[in-house]
Amino acid sequence: MSTILLCGVDLFFRGKLEALLPEHHFITVDHTDTPELVIADISRIDAQEVADTYPDVPILGYTNHTDTSGLRAAHAAGFDQVLAKSAFVERVGEIVAELLPS
């Protein structure tokens, strides 16, 4: 079981992630556990701030496909993977497996 930090992820989408990735433990920023992966809703966070706060943790970001400035900001901040939300939902299992330490 890996610990995944959710940044800016709303409650509805958190429930979806918990259903898609039941083998992982999800936390929010007010938690003291050290995450092994960060998942961020790019439209609701400052991409550079998240990247600066978690420099040694893989970061997976998603946003609406029309949020091109958010997608660019996440790429510029150094996120490990940046996807449109629809692609994120389709591929989240395989991407999380790729980004988590083995």
Cα(10)–Cα(4) distance, integer angstroms: 15
What is the pLDDT at residue 102?
67
What is the pLDDT at residue 33?
76
Backbone angles phi, psi at 13, to 5 degrees: -70, -30
Radius of gyration of the chain (CA): 12
- Helix (H) or strand (E) holding 67, with range, is none
What is the pLDDT at residue 3?
94
31 Cβ contact partners less than 8 Å away, ≥ 6 residues apart: 5
Q: What is the mean pLDDT of residues 20-29?
A: 92
Confidence band of 5 (pLDDT split at 50, 70, 90): very high
What tens digit of pLDDT does each residue of 33-86 get? 789 999 999 999 999 999 999 999 999 999 998 999 999 999 999 999 999 999
Alpha-helix runs per DSSP H in the chain:
11-20, 47-53, 68-77, 85-99
Instruction: Give the position of tokens 């003291």.
Output: 32
